[in-house]
Amino acid sequence: MAKTITVRVEDTTYDILKKAAEGQKRTISNYLEFAALSYTVNETVVDDSEMKEIFTFEKDIKKGLADISAGRYKVIG
């Protein structure tokens, strides 16, 4: 079942969203759904090749976590 979400945006943001939606021949609601899903899938999900690269540093990550737990670190700001 579809859910309704209320979003408050500035007039300039609304104008940008409206033009983007019109450019894709979508309603603003449909454009926002499309854009949110697109961002979520493309920017927040790690693909297999990226995850494989992360796992190549698993030993270093575990050592870093152990160093943090043992207090062997210095925060440089």
Task: Share the mean pLDDT of the chain.
Answer: 90
**DSSP code per residue over 9-73:** --HHHHHHHHHHHHHTT--HHHHHHHHHHHHHHHHSS--HHHHHHHHTTHHHHHHHHHHHHTT--
Average pLDDT over residues 14-33: 96
Residue 74, pLDDT > 80, answer no
- CA–CA gap between residue 44 and residue 34 (Å, rounded): 15
Packed helices 11-23 and 28-43: angle between N→C axes, nearest 10 degrees: 90
pTM across the whole model: 0.56
pLDDT tops 90 at residue 21: yes
| Residue 14 banded pLDDT, cuts 50, 70, 90 | very high
72 vs 31, more confident: 31
Cβ 21 vs Cβ 31: under 8 Å:
yes
The confidence score (pLDDT) of residue 23 equals 96
